[in-house]
Structure 1
Amino acid sequence: MVAGISLAVVLAPLLAPHPPLTQDLLHTLSGPSANHLLGTDVLGRDVLSRLLYGGRPTLIGVGLAVLVYAFFGMSLGMLAGYLRGWTDRVIVAALDVMLSVPAVIITLAVLAIFYQSNVAAMLTIGFFASAGLARIIRSSCLALREELFVDAARVSGLGPARIMARHILPRLTGQLLVPVFLFSGNALAIQTGLGFLGLATPAPAPSWGGMVGEAAQIMQQDPYLLFVSGGVIGLMSLSFGLIGDGLRDLEQDRRQATGGRSRQPVPTAALQDAAKPSEKPSDGAVLAVRDYSITFATAQGPRTVVDSIGFTVRPGEIFGLVGESGSGKTVTGLSLLGLLPPNGAVTSGSAWLAGHRISGLPERELQHIRGGEIALVSQEPMVALDPYFTIGSQLGEVIRRTGTAPGGKEAVRERIRELLTSVHLRDPDDVARRHPHELSGGMLQRVVIAMALAGTPKVLIADEPTTALDVTVQAGILDLLRTLRDERGMAIILITHDLGVVADTCDRAIVMEKGHIVEEGSIEDIFYRPQHPYTRKLIESTPSIARTEGRIT
């Protein structure tokens, strides 16, 4: 709608059936006809022609205001949020002044100097309105400034201007679109309001606001003209808001998709293969995976990332999924909980938990299984914990969700204390009162494990639980996993690329390469009798300390 009306306004000399100022006093206030598609006004001027020509100063004014609004709002917000320090203080003080000044009064003062100047009025409106956008951008930029990719860019030697343009600005685009298009609707209302008052476009030149003013004078005589001119303004204002919402959603989808492309669904035929019934395992395993494949839809077509794998996890066993990054081990673990992204799906085979099939279940049924039957320990504790809530409130939410502490608030508090104690955290009451940023990495990892244990699961999936921890804390987490296994008898799937962790913790393991299982067996077999060259290469590449002829090598 916006594009169509804007194009018609640009092509007004070609589309307008009559000159906008030509009067036909013999046909005033006539209704739509073959000669005048939208009728005529009080002076017999063609309404359609005046709408087309009147859109020019209106949309030019809106465009100027939006450009100033976006430029100053984005520039001031990014400079304040990224540079911080005195730059931030000066810009914030200036924004406070801009927000406190009545922009309408300033605009009227500008019009008193630049009489009936549409450009001056809209530039003034855009500049003062940009203060609100700058505050939004500043808040977002403050958060982006602390991201690891910004630190990496800074370490690489990139300057502030390059980082802001290359790494921060693209991530602010989605947040910019909605305010810009909402402001476009507001700018249109302001511009037409000034035209209604005769302050923007001098008569008899047509403008949408001026046409509303002319129609208002004869509203009692003929209300039709008010509906025509006001309808176009209302339609454009509504369309601006809808465009902002639509572009925001498209931007979010593009950022989440691989390679910046929109996600595509996995082919239906592949999903039908996964839905085929398979034989229930009868070996007493707590978790069994049979002929399991996972496919992702990409711009180049479906891509199988896990191909026909199978393994069994027994009760009370620590089972390792080993492989380099990209081998498919993490996506296998996430698929067991139904946590694949929208463009990924299990396309063949099945997974069984305690004799019940869990692959292919609808989301509602998976919600009952997650946490209660099978749980996940995330690789990054800060990803699993909300920084705005205390540890106790987040643990309490999981406890109430899984129903493991029937009773009132005191029962939930006691359960929180019990879980934090079970993961060897001293002073659990103090930990429960703290926010995630107040705890160390090792303590956060223990909190995440406690959260996973809240539902007393049969299987615990630990995805690289020690990657970001130092050696001593890592050893403590591994000891904790072994203790939990011994005390609770639950099975643990340990996803890792660290063979030292596997050797120290696991009972059995599988080695994955490019979505395939290349080796499976006990830890002794894998380390001392490896059969596959990839396994031997992993072992050889594992750092070790050996004493040779009095030297450490």
Structure 2
Amino acid sequence: MTASTAPQDAVRRRSAARRLLRDPQAVITASVLLLIVVLGLLAPVLTSHDPNHASLDHIDAGAGTDGYPLGGDRSGRDIWARLLHSINTSTVSALIGASIALVIGVSAGLVGGYHDRLRSLTEWVFSLVMTFPGLLLLIVLMPLTGGDFRTTMAIFGVLLSPGVYRITRNQVLGVKNELFVDAARVSGLSDRRILVRHVLPAVRGPVIIATAFLCGSSIGVQSGLAFLGVGPATTPSFGAMISEGFHNLYLSPLQFVWPSLVLGALTSCLVLFGNALRDALEGSRRRPAGIPAPKAPAATGAAPAGLLAVEDLTIAYPTPSGELKEVVSGVSLVLEPGETLGLVGESGSGKTQTAFAVLGVLPSEAVVVRGSIRLDGRELLGLKESELRGLRGRAIAYVPQEPMSNLDPSFTVGAQLVEGVRAASGASRGEARRRVLALLERVGIPDPERAFRSRPHEISGGMAQRVLIAGAVACRPALLIADEPTTALDVTVQAEILDLLRDLREEMDMAVLLVTHDFGVVADVCDRVAVMRTGEIVETGTAEKIFGGAEHDYTRMLLDSILDENTVRGDAPVAADEPLGRTTTW
């Protein structure tokens, strides 16, 4: 938990509470549920009769007879007392059945949905559980449980867990590909922390709805078993009361009506309140589009000297026919400390795939056919996720293309930055908060305190990009990968962000791998350029060389497509001492 998590969660809870209080459906159903539960809890006070006490003088007695407010049943027991104690039986059944189903189903759904290698195992286990005939199994096991409805509901909770598992798993499969989840992984957070802090809150809506149905199902099954006469007759239950009232329907129909009304009100209000609570918790939350979850590749090989050395990197994806299609073919790069290398190419050229391979966040279906990626002499391909996590945020950092989509809308800006700093550096909450505020000021945010307390939708795109840059350089990484850092920004803000990146690079002496399609950005900040086309590096060289005398036809075509008559062209070399970024117009 971060330094600002507690107040932030309190604000979120207050906001959800206000939405609930303004929702008539939530207010009415919650009031009915609360009334029913309180009546059950006050059963010893509201009635003087034991629910199993039978009086021959009160068999089928009318309402109000001798202290029997709702009359007596065909055994002479107080209907009012049995009704109140039946509420307690149903409440306990709902709590046991739903709790066990949620603990098992949600835990397995988070793990199975997030970890591809464990999904097959969880699928097999829960598919096996689903083959069991639930109601029949509960009846068969009744001799073993001794008829105790609490044990029966515990078994029923296990039988309910596959439904919760499938709901959670499906939600996790969608959410784990979100950019803010990938950003959390790049920050070096553990899988457990990501699941608890970022994935679980994003899937809670369907789980809340499922919880309401689980409670209703538990109550219904317990009542159904009691209606069939399965279990001790001494346990007060709506099902037992309905069964007795059904046999006495023509003589005293109210004996059937009272438990049916309370049971119906209880289960329907649970479902309706679950819907209202889900809507209140979700609010107007918008989930950004995402990228696939990563899988560590495996490859070995020597690499040239340099801070980052990529040699003969080849990445492929399986086609529907089972063959592998290469999207990156034989890419080799060298990036020196303090240098900015521009990786340029059209969409689909493979530049982002190359950057993701360096970060270790390739999609799970990606296959590294061959190659080597070394960071300061250490081979990255083949490292375990735990080992990569130790590098992310410390030795290597990432600035994404879409700043708003990479900030989790559930948390404030400060909470997310503090979380990343603590994960990467092990700093205390107070120290991490001070460091984040200093970073926000350093990246040019006018009011760091206000930005710290703001949610992503409350800041501009340019400010969001500055926030992400602050988080990326918080631990002074040796390598910063910036993936189209100015694409979503207007021209004025683009220039400011580029100036900031240049200043931070010089100040921290870090290397920058700049992934872009914009030669204007390249001319402004890059020392060297590598041009990619259809997964291959077609030309490399200094910025002066590329702009002054590009050799490859594809490079000249790219330059010609964005430069006008007054701009530097391949047939008009630029003087080596001329500042490229200041003599071009875009």
Please tell me the TM-score bracket, short chain as reference: 0.5 to 0.7
Q: 2:315 matched to 1:299?
A: no
Residue 374 of structure 1, aligned match among 377, 396, 411: 396
Q: Map 1:10-25 to 2 at 5 A.
A: none
1:345-494 alignment, distance < 5 Å: 345-403=367-425, 405=427, 408-494=428-514
Give distance in 1, aligned partners of 2:443 and 2:326. Answer: 38
Say which of 279, 301, 323 aligns to 1:278.
301
Structure 1 residues 46-105: Cα deviation after superposition (integer angstroms, max 9, x where no partner) = xxxxxxxxxxxxxxxxxxxxxxxxxxxxxxxxxxxxxxxxxx99x964676567668xx9
* Shift, 1:489, TM fit: 1.1
Q: Deviations over 1:266-321 (max 9, x none)?
A: 9xxxx6xx43x42243x3x1100001011223433222211111011111111011
Whole-Å separation in 1 of the counterparts to 2:338 and 2:349: 26
Deviations 1:324-379 (A, max 9, x none): 11111111111111111111132211111111111211111101110100100011
CA distance in 1, matches of 2:211, 2:508: 56
1:318 corresponds to: 340
Structure 1 residue 175, shift from structure 2 partner: 7.5
1:432/1:194 Cα in 2 relative to 1: closer, same or farther (>3 Å)? closer
Q: Distance in 2 between matches of 1:530 and 1:545?
A: 17
| Cα shift at 1:538 | 1.2
Alpha-carbon distance in 2 for matches of 1:191, 1:411: 53
Question: What secondary structure does 1:467 align onto?
Answer: coil
CA distance in 2, matches of 1:173, 1:421: 34
Give the SS at the match of 2:310: strand
| Structure 1 stretch displaced more, 301-310 or 395-404 | 395-404
Amino acid at match of 2:523: A
CA contact (8 A) 2:414 2:436 kept: yes
- 3-state secondary structure, aligned to 1:414: helix
Give the secondary-structure state (helix, strand or coil) at the position aligned to 2:433. helix
User: Is contact 2:418-2:436 (8 Å) kept?
Assistant: yes
Superposed displacement of residue 435, structure 1:
2.3
Moved over 6 A (4+): 172-178, 255-258, 263-266
Aligned partner letter, 1:190: G
Give the whole-Å Cα distance in 2 for the aligned partners of 1:439 and 1:178. 30
Contact 1:321 1:495 in 2 (8 A): yes
Is 1:523 paired with 2:543? yes
Kindly state the Cα deviation for residue 460 of structure 1 after the two structures are TM-superposed.
0.2
Residues 218-273 of structure 1: CA distance to partner in whole angstroms, max 9, x if unpaired?
Answer: xxxxxxxxxxxxxxxxxxxxxxxxxxxxxxxxxxxxx9999xxxx9999xxxx6xx
Structure 1 contact 329–512 (Cα < 8 Å) conserved: yes
| Partner Cα separation in structure 2 for residue 367 and residue 180 of structure 1 | 34
Counterpart of 1:401, as a letter, is A
- Tell me which residue corresponds to 1:231: none
How much does 1:179 deviate?
5.2
Change (3 A) 1:94 1:498: same
Q: Is the 8 A contact 2:397 2:472 kept in 1?
A: yes
Distance 1:173 1:415 in 2: 32
**DSSP-derived class of the 2:562 partner:** coil
- Structure 2: which 5+ residue stretches go unaligned? 1-18, 37-166, 179-201, 229-238, 248-288, 568-584
Q: Following TM superposition, by how much is the alpha carbon of 1:177 offset from its aligned partner in structure 2, in angstroms?
A: 10
Taking only the aligned residue pairs, the percentage that are identical comes to 44
Equivalent pair of 2:394/2:425 in contact (CA under 8 Å): no
Q: For residue 118 of structure 1, what is the aligned residue in structure 2?
A: none
Q: State the one-letter code of the partner of 1:299.
A: P
Alignment counterpart, residue 220 of structure 2, candidates 157, 179, 190 = 190
The residue identity in structure 2 corresponding to 1:431 is: A
Alignment partners' CA distance in 2, 1:92 and 1:418: 42
Q: 1:299 to 1:173 in 2, by over 3 A?
A: farther
Counterpart check, 1:504 vs 2:504: no
Q: CA deviation at 1:426?
A: 2.3
Is the counterpart of residue 290 in structure 1 residue 311 in structure 2? Answer: yes
- Does residue 308 of structure 1 match 2:330? yes
* CA positional deviation for 1:424: 2.1
Instruction: Quote the Cα distance in structure 1 between the aligned partners of 2:521 and 2:209.
Output: 50
Name the CA shift for 1:264/1:415 in 2 (closer, same or farther; >3 Å).
closer
Q: Check conservation: 1:404, 1:455, Cα contact below 8 A.
A: no
1:439-485 per-position Cα deviation (integer Å, ceiling 9, x unaligned): 21111101100100012111100001001111000000001111111
Distance 1:182 1:414, change over 3 A: closer
Partner SS state of residue 432, structure 1: helix
- Distance of 2:450 and 2:211 partners within structure 1: 47
- How far, CA to CA, are the matches of 1:342 and 1:433 in structure 2? 35
Q: What pairs up with 1:207-222 in 2 under 5 angstroms?
A: none
Is the contact made by 2:393 and 2:424 (CA closer than 8 Å) also made in structure 1? yes
Distance 1:387 1:545, change over 3 A: farther
Counterparts of 1:121-132 in structure 2, within 5 Å, are none
Question: Separation in 2 of the partners of 1:173 and 1:543?
Answer: 47
What is the CA deviation profile of residues 367-397 of structure 1, one whole-angstrom value per residue up to 9, with x for unaligned ones?
A: 1110100100011112322223232222222
CA shift digits 1:482-504 (9 cap, x unpaired)? 11111111110111111111111
Q: CA RMSD in A?
A: 4.3
Query: What amino acid does structure 1 have at the position aligned with 2:314?
Result: S
Higher relative contact order (CA 8 A, sep 6+): 2
Matches within 5 A, 1:241-280: 274-275=298-299, 277-280=300-303
- Please give the secondary structure, in 2, of the residue aligned with 1:519: strand
More divergent stretch after superposition (436-445 vs 537-546): 537-546
C-alpha distance in 2 between matches for 1:185 and 1:419: 48
Instruction: Tell me: CA distance 1:468–1:545, structure 2 relative to 1, closer, same or farther (3 Å).
Output: farther
TM-score, normalised to structure 2, is: 0.50
State the match for 2:353 in structure 1. Answer: 331
Counterpart secondary structure, 2:410:
coil
2:516 partner amino acid:
T
Q: What is the number of equivalent residue pairs in this alignment?
A: 335
CA change 1:434–1:521 in 2 (3 A) is: same
Matches within 5 A, 1:222-233: none
Alpha-carbon displacement from aligned partner over 1:33-52 (angstroms, at most 9, x marks no partner): xxxxxxxxxxxxxxxxxxxx
Q: Distance in 1 between matches of 2:342 and 2:210?
A: 51
